[in-house]
């Protein structure tokens, strides 16, 4: 039997310091199977976003364990967590994290990250492999923009798009790495 996509075991997390410290996640345990879609509902301030950030390894629990696709996140340092997220998790945050000086296409290209595959030397000197991978990355980015219904906005700055199109752009970028797991915080906003 394969490992769940997400497994949390008795996760506790508090945020803040001193008298302002708040115990947000209290003994959360759950399994989410591969291919399963789960929605978290609850009142504002109940910890939904904090739970998602903990699943993504952006918040570290005070105690308990978080497993993504069978891998325990607790022994990973910040660099290893960043690499893990980049390769396996697509995240759409509650607030926009678009790069304001980039077009919609360029924002999605940051996720397809074609230069990571062929290396810095290939990217700088334009090796045939780097050129081919850049072309494939652009095609993939256009495909994602089209899937989200905003391909006609590919040359517009992300910051200038209407609110709903910015949300669609964030989702397209989250899908750019072909992640095994996609975490969406308030995905229907806008």
For residues 138-146, average pLDDT? 92
Q: Residue 127 corresponds to which tokens in the numbers above? A: 């090796």
Q: What Cα–Cα distance (Å) separates residue 53 from each residue in 38, 68, 129, 185?
A: 15, 13, 36, 9
Residue whose C-alpha is closest to residue 36's, from 188, 182, 186: 182
* CA–CA distance, 75 with 96 (Å, rounded to integer): 29
Percent of the chain with pLDDT over 70: 90
Q: Residue 34 corresponds to which tokens in the numbers above? A: 């591969």
For residues 132-139, average pLDDT? 80
User: Any idea what DSSP says for residue 64?
Assistant: E
* CA–CA distance, 52 with 40 (Å, rounded to integer): 9
Indicate if the pLDDT at residue 131 is higher than 80.
no
For residues 8-26, average pLDDT? 93
Q: Residue 69 corresponds to which tokens in the numbers above? A: 């696709």
Please report where in the chains the tokens 């095994």 appear, as a residue: 180
pLDDT confidence band for 93 (50 / 70 / 90): confident
For residues 87-112, average pLDDT? 87
């Amino acid at each position: 039997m394969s490992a769940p996509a997400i497994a949390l075991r008795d996760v506790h997390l508090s945020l803040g310091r001193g008298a302002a410290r708040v115990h947000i996640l209290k003994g959360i345990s759950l399994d989410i199977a591969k291919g399963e879609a789960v929605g978290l509902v609850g009142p504002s301030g109940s910890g939904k976003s904090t739970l998602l950030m903990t699943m993504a390894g952006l918040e570290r629990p005070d105690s308990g364990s978080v497993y993504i696709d069978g891998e325990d996140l607790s022994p990973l340092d910040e660099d290893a967590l960043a690499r893990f997220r980049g390769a396996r998790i697509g995240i759409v945050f509650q607030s926009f994290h678009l790069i304001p000086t980039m077009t919609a296409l360029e924002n999605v290209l940051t996720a397809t990250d074609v230069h990571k595959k062929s290396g810095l030397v290939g990217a700088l000197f334009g090796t045939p492999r780097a050129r081919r991978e850049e072309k494939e990355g652009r095609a993939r980015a256009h495909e994602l923009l089209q899937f989200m219904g905003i391909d006609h906005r590919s040359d517009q700055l992300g910051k200038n798009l209407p609110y709903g199109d910015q949300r669609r752009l964030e989702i397209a970028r989250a899908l750019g790495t072909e992640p095994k797991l996609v975490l969406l915080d308030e995905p229907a906003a806008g």
